[in-house]
Amino acid sequence: MQGVAENLPFASESFDAVTMIEVLEHTGSDISALAECFRILRPGGILILFVPNKLYPWESHPCHVGRFSIGRNIPLASWLPESLHRRICHARIYTRRKLFRIARTTGFQIRTMGYIFPPVDSFPLPKRFKQAYRRLSWTLEQSALAVFGVSIFVVFGKSQRVE
């Protein structure tokens, strides 16, 4: 089934959980998309969400100046003012504060949040390197440096209905 995030083809209160992994930044309206997720969740349901982190030092989306592609992984592009970043990279990026504000606006409660570092599992790298990287990533994700992770992950909840 296909649909757009701002107008999901599902009945209200039909899911216990919804996941959006690196999707919200590509929607026409992030507020409308989250409002739709809230609508289709049952009371007590959760939304698991991953979005690009503004503090990550490299831009993970392809960037363009006019018709000229400057590629992805552009250093510090994500730190540009939001209006300029959106014009060049064509996707929103988020701070924790902005994401929480949008969530509260749409009725969600914040259950938990954190940051993740880029995965390397799909790269053809030696197993030892991947294992060492996973250990390093986990350590960084538990430290003060976590705020520089590639993505913010959150679990938002829809409160139980009081009767």
Percentage of the chain beyond pLDDT 90 is: 61
- Tell me, yes or no, whether 87 lies in a domain: yes
Report pLDDT for 18.
96
71 assigned to some structural domain: yes
Rg (CA), the chain: 17
Write down the pLDDT at residue 162: 52
Residue 134 lies in a domain: no
Higher pLDDT, 162 or 46: 46
User: Could you give the percent of the chain with pLDDT greater than 70?
Assistant: 98
| Res 157: pLDDT | 97
Query: C-alpha angle with apex 82: 101 to 89, nearest 5 degrees?
Result: 120
Residue 150 lies in a domain: yes
Please name which of 94, 117, 97, 77 lies closest in space to residue 25, comparing C-alpha atoms. 94
pLDDT digits (tens, 9 = 90+) for 62-83: 888 888 888 777 888 888 888 8
For residue 163, the model assigns a pLDDT of 47
User: Domain tally for the chain?
Assistant: 1
For helices 96-105 and 30-40, the axis angle rounded to 10 degrees is 50
Structural domain range at position 22: 15-119+146-157
Q: Across residues 51-67, what is the average pLDDT?
A: 89
Whether 83 maps to a domain, the answer reads yes
Please report, for the domain that includes residue 47, its CATH number. 3.40.50.150
Query: Residue 81: inside a domain, yes or no?
Result: yes
Domain membership flag for residue 135: no
φ, ψ at 159 (rounded to 5°): -65, 155
> pLDDT digit string (tens) for 103-152?
999 999 999 999 999 887 777 888 898 888 889 999 999 999 999 999 99
pLDDT reported for residue 36: 96
Q: What is the mean pLDDT of the chain?
A: 90
Cα gap 151→24, rounded to integer Å: 12
Residue 33 lies in a domain: yes
